[in-house]
Amino acid sequence: MKTYWPFQRRAAGMRGRLIVSLDVGTLAEATKLVQTLRGEVGMFKVGKQLFMHCGPAVVQMVRDHGSEVFLDLKFHDVPRTVAKAGVEATRLGVRMFDLHASGSLDMMQRTVNEVGRVCRTENLRRPKVLAVTVLTSLSHDDLQRIGVSGEIQDQVSRLALLAKEATMDGVVAPPQEAEPIRKLCGAGFLIVTPGIRPEESEPAPSDDYPPATPEAAIRAGADYLVVGQPIRDAADPAAAARAIVAAMQRAVATVPEVSLEGPESA
């Protein structure tokens, strides 16, 4: 099937590939941001802080506004527990959720299988199940201290391949890992990339790794871009989101068309 790697070249498609992090502390703040951006972006990321404060109500709020949720809770436990957590995320109606690839092949496979089963038996939409490879805050020394030898990129590659073997839909990976993962795992494997900042945006003290521009991430092979502070704290968040979508569109126009086997869109 002929498609584009990694995007179809449509402006509406670019909006759908932009995820905004709801890195705020309350449901009221999250609601205000969703109301402002729901027509400008494709998805909102809900992480641990907001979910622990609001619970499933924040997921329902986003869905009530007609938007999609990436539930970024990075599940990591025994396989049975993670699989059950994945089932409950599915029942919430999220579009994506993630878990740690280091939890084992069995943990990933069991989660994928249980999610598929509950979708069939309860007639639910199947979410994309993503693997987190190596946390962006971890250094080479950190990995050495927990018994992981070799370079960070080697560990990322091993875990990305393990996730693919487990039939996971893709990975969450920082910008500098997108290109090697794309080459290793192919075009049908989703890459969700955080740490995106427009060129004119100043790095934040909380950045765990060098940020990348939207253009650079797209050209490296990312499918979805996760943006937080540059949109959230902008004087006009909607205009900031539109500018990033435009940058994505410019970048994908430079990616050659190729013939690939796989779905037309993720």
Tokens 């370079």, residue?
A: 151
Residue 265 has pLDDT above 60, yes or no: no
**Which residues are part of the catalytic machinery?**
74
CATH classification at residue 240? 3.20.20.70
Domain that holds residue 48: 2-259
- In this prediction, residue 209 carries a pLDDT of 60
Please give the tally of structural domains in the chain.
1
Q: What is the pTM of this model?
A: 0.89
d(Cα 58, Cα 11) in Å, to the nearest integer? 28
Burial state string for 119-134 with b = 16 or more CB within 10 A and e = fewer than 16: beeeeeeebbbbbbbb
In a domain, 265, yes or no: no
pLDDT per position as a tens digit, 159-168: 999 999 999 9
In a domain, 266, yes or no: no
Burial state string for 107-116 with b = 16 or more CB within 10 A and e = fewer than 16: bbbbbbebbe
In a domain, 40, yes or no: yes
pLDDT per position as a tens digit, 32-54: 999 999 999 999 999 999 999 99
In a domain, 264, yes or no: no
Mean of pLDDT values over 230-239: 95
- In this prediction, residue 1 carries a pLDDT of 29
In a domain, 131, yes or no: yes
Burial state string for 231-246 with b = 16 or more CB within 10 A and e = fewer than 16: bbeeeebeebbbbbbe
- In this prediction, residue 254 carries a pLDDT of 80
